Structure formats: structure tokens, C-alpha cells
């Protein structure tokens, strides 16, 4: 068993131990091509004692664990290395956990992120999830629960989930209900914002009038028949005409489509 402490022998010895029944299969290894691949996580926690306890706990779970003690180091490590999950404290020196997560998502880094906080405000939890976090856990917490949540995240893997919708030079932030054409802020009503969100979530796809009604209004809507056409017209006046573009087009007899790269 001493051989397991020598890095050069870890993969080979674990492979043998698992198949002869010495090592429990409940530990989180990925077995690929006949060798063991460690689950690697990053802990970003400024409280040294807490970080050490988490590191020890996850190592006992047979994880490879890296630790950063501030937001700047955590962001650098997460942007430069591949992790199966990140445990990210909210209150960090340098830059806070919300900003770390937001910047990672802006860089298209999609490691699953679980945020830790001592604050129980719902607004904080909403802010963390809107920044791109995958899960949220309040302090104090049970390590068993934290470990279970991290296992769930590592099973899910890194999945691209943009916090901003982008189509050409159109951008929309669903969390803040803001939209831009280039650097220009678009002043949209709630219905116009919902309509743009639908089109931007399905670029180059024909959206029927019925689907628009169901998404922007509801199934029970009993408005006048040309309400969709009116709101599409309102939206065109704000996202296309002032910029000399014609992205939002009518597909006669079917519905509408937001074209990528269309010009006037």
C-alpha cells in the first residue's frame, strides 16, 4: 500500500486494487482505457482552516484537489486548468465569487461551479445562479451534503450554458432584462424583451405566431389576431431600422425568423 503514495505508481496500483477488490468502487475515479483518471476539483476559499478541511475531506474521497485563497488566484487557476468541479466561496479578497464565476462564463469556461456563502439572502443566491453557478450551499453545511452535490456536478460534466444570448451584434442578458445592438442599449418593453429572447434563443429558426403567443403571452390569451404582427413591428423599429439592418424577417404564411448576419 505504500506504493500508492508514489505518484509514478498511482494509476497502475489503483487499477490492480480495484480489480482484486481491495479498493472500494464507490470512490470517484474515471476508468478510461484501462487506467484510473482522477476527478480533479478546485476549492476557492479564503479561510485557511476551512480550505484545509475541505481539501482533506475531498482527498479522503480520492479527489485530486487544488486550493486558491482569493478570487484573483482562483480565476487564474480555473481559466488555465481543467477541473471536474469548482467549489467557490462568495466572500473572497481581490474579486468576489460572483465576479469569478461571471468572468469564467464570459471566457467560455464551463466547469461546474458550486458556490458557498454564509449569507442566507435570496438575492445572493439568485445573483450567484444568474452569474452562471450550477449549485449553491449555505454555511454551515454538512461535508457529506457538499460531497454529494459535488459528485452530482462531476457526473453532469461541463456543459455550455451561456448567461448571455448573442446573435451577431445583438446581445441579451435574461438575468438583468437588458439588451444591446453593438454598444447601444436597446430600450424594450417587457413584451418586446420576451419576444427578442424567444428569437435569440432560436436564431435562424422559423417561429410560428402560435408559438410566439404561447411564449410571450400564455395559452389562455384571447387578444386580437394581429397582436403578434404589431409587436414584431415594434421590435423591428428598435433592433433593426435604427441600425440599417433587417435581421428580423417575415416568413409569409408561417411566422418570423431572426436571421444571423442579414443586412438591410
Give backbone dihedrals phi and psi of 7, rounded to 5 degrees, phi first: -50, -40
Residue 228 neighbours by CB distance under 10 Å: 21
Residues 6+ apart with CB under 8 A from 116: 45, 87, 88, 89, 90, 97, 137, 138, 139, 141
Which of 129, 103, 109 is CA-nearest to residue 117?
129
Homologous superfamily of domain range 39-156:
Response regulator (3.40.50.2300)
Q: How far apart are CA 192 and CA 238, in angstroms?
A: 9
pTM above 0.95, yes or no: no
pLDDT in single tens digits along all 264 residues of the chain: 333 333 334 443 444 333 334 444 444 444 444 333 468 899 999 999 999 999 999 988 888 899 999 999 999 999 998 899 999 999 999 999 999 998 998 887 888 999 998 776 777 788 888 888 889 999 889 999 999 999 999 887 766 666 678 899 999 987 678 899 999 999 998 889 889 988 998 899 999 988 888 777 754 555 556 888 899 999 999 999 999 999 999 999 899 999 987 665
Q: Where in the chain is the domain with CATH 3.40.50.2300?
A: 39-156
Q: How far apart are CA 107 and CA 113, in angstroms?
A: 14
The CATH number corresponding to 165-258 among 3.30.70.20, 1.10.10.10, 3.30.56.10, 3.40.50.170 equals 1.10.10.10
Amino acid at each position: 500500500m505504500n506504493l500508492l503514495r508514489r505518484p509514478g505508481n498511482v494509476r497502475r496500483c489503483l487499477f490492480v486494487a480495484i480489480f482484486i477488490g481491495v479498493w472500494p468502487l464507490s470512490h470517484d475515479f474515471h476508468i478510461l482505457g484501462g487506467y484510473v483518471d482522477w476527478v480533479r476539483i478546485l476549492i476557492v476559499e479564503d479561510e485557511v482552516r476551512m480550505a484545509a478541511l475541505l481539501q482533506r475531506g475531498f482527498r479522503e474521497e480520492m479527489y485530486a484537489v487544488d486550493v486558491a485563497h482569493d478570487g484573483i488566484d482562483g480565476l487564474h487557476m480555473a481559466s488555465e486548468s481543467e477541473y471536474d468541479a469548482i467549489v467557490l466561496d462568495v466572500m473572497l479578497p481581490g474579486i468576489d465569487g460572483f465576479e469569478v464565476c461571471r468572468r469564467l462564463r464570459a471566457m467560455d469556461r464551463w466547469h461546474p461551479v458550486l458556490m458557498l456563502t454564509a449569507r442566507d439572502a435570496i438575492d445572493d443566491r439568485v445573483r450567484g445562479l444568474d452569474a452562471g453557478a450550477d449549485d449553491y450551499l449555505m454555511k454551515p453545511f454538512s461535508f457529506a451534503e457538499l460531497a454529494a452535490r459535488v459528485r452530482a456536478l462531476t457526473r453532469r460534466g461541463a456543459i455550455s450554458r451561456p448567461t448571455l444570448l448573442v446573435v451577431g451584434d445583438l446581445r441579451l442578458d435574461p438575468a438583468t432584462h437588458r439588451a444591446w445592438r453593438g454598444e447601444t442599449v436597446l430600450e424594450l418593453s417587457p413584451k418586446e424583451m420576451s419576444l427578442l429572447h424567444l428569437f435569440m434563443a432560436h436564431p435562424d429558426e422559423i417561429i410560428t405566431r402560435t408559438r410566439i403567443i404561447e411564449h410571450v403571452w400564455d395559452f389562455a390569451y384571447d387578444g386580437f389576431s394581429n397582436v403578434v404582427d404589431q409587436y414584431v413591428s415594434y421590435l423591428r423599429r428598435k433592433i433593426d431600422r435604427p441600425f440599417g439592418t433587417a435581421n428580423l424577417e417575415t416568413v409569409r404564411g408561417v411566422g418570423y425568423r431572426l436571421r444571423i448576419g442579414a443586412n438591410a
